[in-house]
Amino acid sequence: MSDAERRDVAGVGDAKILLPDAIKRGSLVHVRALISHPMDTGLFRTSAGEPIPAYFIKEVSVAYGDEQVARFEWTSGISRDPYVAFPIRATREAPLTITWKDNKGGVYTRTEQVRFG
């Protein structure tokens, strides 16, 4: 399988947000987010010698309810299939939405509900 084919089947943009099962009001929640993306630096070549153009997530935004609570600015120095984890104070039951944008115009969004249990 060529490098290009391998990237096609990888499902670029498949994303996941992982929240703990039981969230208590007011607690600090560990949010983990993963997305499938090649994060090509533009500095490598395929085995056939073709340059692989830069292709990476450059911006991530995190919204909790109506509030934007974080924004990440990335380069291709973040590893392939980017993983990021960060805390959030669970003050209310509301959707947590993460949006990833790449340098070729791709926009990928996932939402998970913060629910108290």
CB of 76 to other proteins, least distance (A): 7
Of residues 24, 89, 104, 115, which one binds other proteins by CB under 8 A?
89
Label residues 80-98 b or e (16+ Cβ within 10 Å = b): eebebeeebebeeeeebbb
Of residues 85, 106, 107, 109, which one binds other proteins by CB under 8 A?
85
Give yes or no for a contact between 90 and 116, defined as CB atoms under 8 angstroms apart: yes
CB of 101 to other proteins, least distance (A): 14
Beta bridge pairs of residue 32:
18, 85
Of residues 11, 25, 53, 87, which one binds other proteins by CB under 8 A?
87
